[in-house]
Amino acid sequence: MKIENDLVEKHLDNIRALQASSGLFMASRSDVSTGYNKAWLRDNFYTCLAFEEVEEWETVIKVWKAILQIFVKHKDKIDWARKNKPLETWQYIHARYNPETFEEFWEEWGNKQNDAVGAILFKLGDLEEKGIRIVETAEEKLVVQILVDYLESIEYWHDPDNGVWEEYEELHMSSVGACVAGLKKIRILPYIKVPDYIIERGEETLRKFLPRESNSKFTDLALLSLIYPFSVVDEKQARDIVRHLEYHLERDRGVIRYKNDRYYNKNDDGYSEEAEWCFGFPWLSIIYKLWADEERAHEYLQKSIETIYKDQIPELYYSDSPKPNDNTPLAWAESLFVVALLRTGR
């Protein structure tokens, strides 16, 4: 399968249209009524992967400098949380912000999302390894150390959080794994101190639970993050995660997040007609490419292409339906699609 450059550029432009002047990306269009005109830490982490792939470093640096400025702006709050283990959700680092002012949104949203903090640390270290220096000033260095200490304070390895999907609190392996990956990667910065035991505790938790996502979820789309981009599972764990996901969660237009997911569930009782998330297909394509399985990588890339709706990648389709939801395009769905196009399509 040969992918033309104009297809890649079209979907990069879809993402660029969602960028605020600060550098941060909104999750979806500014005029959307779903609340996705805000900037999520996690979404920006994944959205920026496409621009890394094409080596558009000016965009990458602008995004990550903006993310650091969020933490600098809220340094006093985070510093309090590292010294006093948070008890209330609002005391945790928030997951989403105004893309221009970097202010928190205070309405209840399931803001306790430890994976987002792990993802930030992971990418700051990863970019440093690639020769892209983001953390430069004394204040930036201090705030990164505070983030490490924060994960120690909340004892992330057994801390129930709202997880990638921002729902009820539970101990999620996708969150624990992101924190393990972040702590291991950020140690490349010589001025950052990461106690060995906080990594070891996280790894112990992963060994105990995987390939489950949590006590209530046998498998979950978020577990793919432990393979790509975080690479914190061994080959057997990775193969088990993908095998379970394909058997239980794969559908015609995407991958459901988990069984009995009520978000955009088409059934009135909230069961059995789970929404089909488009980025599941490019995510699987990327992973099979990493495993040098060209046939499966191309199969999922073709499935990804078939999710395109009016030249855009939606967040999801309603179950067994050609109808997407209003979060079209979804920034990190577009990004994973671009990565899959560039890695598998040539």
Domain, as residue range, for 201: 38-213
pLDDT value at 125 more than 70: yes
Rounded Cα–Cα distance for residues 346 and 83 (Å):
50
Residue 283 in domain: no
For 268-293, what is the mean pLDDT?
95
Phi-psi region for residue 255, left (φ > 0), alpha (ψ -120 to 50) or beta?
beta
Strand-pair partners of 250: 255
Give yes or no for a contact between 112 and 166, defined as CB atoms under 8 angstroms apart.
no
For 266-281, what is the mean pLDDT?
92
pLDDT value at 323 more than 90: yes
For the chain, give the mean pLDDT.
95
Looking at residue 3, what is its pLDDT? Answer: 64
Count other C-beta atoms under 10 Å from residue 271's C-beta. 12
Give yes or no for a contact between 93 and 150, defined as CB atoms under 8 angstroms apart.
yes
Amino acid at position 178, single letter: A
For 289-299, what is the mean pLDDT?
98
pLDDT value at 272 more than 90: no
Looking at residue 166, what is its pLDDT? Answer: 94
Nearest to 286 by CA among 277, 274, 296, 276: 296
Comparing 93 with 108, which gets the higher pLDDT? 93
For 305-331, what is the mean pLDDT?
97
pLDDT value at 346 more than 70: no
Phi first, then psi: give them for residue 50, nearest 5 degrees.
-65, -40
**Rounded (10°) angle between helices 138-153 and 75-83:** 40
Rounded Cα–Cα distance for residues 315 and 137 (Å):
37
Residue 333 in domain: no
Rounded Cα–Cα distance for residues 226 and 224 (Å):
5
Confidence of residue 89 (pLDDT cuts 50, 70, 90): confident
Mind giving me the DSSP string for 171-223?
Answer: --HHHHHHHHHHHHHHTTSTT----HHHHHHHHHHHHHHTT-SSSS-S--GGG
Rounded Cα–Cα distance for residues 243 and 228 (Å):
15
- Burial grade of 50 (CB within 10 A; 0-12, 13-18, 19 or more): buried
Residue 229 in domain: no
The string of pLDDT tens digits covering residues 133-147 is 999 999 999 999 999
Confidence of residue 85 (pLDDT cuts 50, 70, 90): confident
Residue 222 in domain: no
Residue 165 in domain: yes
Residue 280 in domain: no
Looking at residue 2, what is its pLDDT? Answer: 59
For 290-313, what is the mean pLDDT?
97
Question: Percent of the chain at pLDDT above 90?
Answer: 89
Residue 116 in domain: yes
Question: Percent of the chain at pLDDT above 70?
Answer: 99
Comparing 85 with 326, which gets the higher pLDDT? 326
Residue 105 in domain: yes
The string of pLDDT tens digits covering residues 179-212 is 999 999 999 999 999 999 999 999 999 999 999 9
pLDDT value at 1 more than 60: no
For 105-125, what is the mean pLDDT?
90
Q: Both tokens of residue 174?
A: 């996708």
Strand-pair partners of 312: 309
The string of pLDDT tens digits covering residues 212-235 is 999 999 999 999 999 999 999 999
Helix (H) or strand (E) segment spanning residue 97: strand 96-97
Task: Give the count of domains, the chain.
Answer: 1
pTM: 0.96
Residues 225-248 as b or e (16 or more Cβ within 10 Å = b): bbbbbbebbeeebbebbbebbeee
Looking at residue 271, what is its pLDDT? Answer: 81
Q: Both tokens of residue 229?
A: 């981009």
pLDDT value at 107 more than 90: no
Confidence of residue 109 (pLDDT cuts 50, 70, 90): confident
For 70-96, what is the mean pLDDT?
92
Q: Both tokens of residue 79?
A: 């510093």
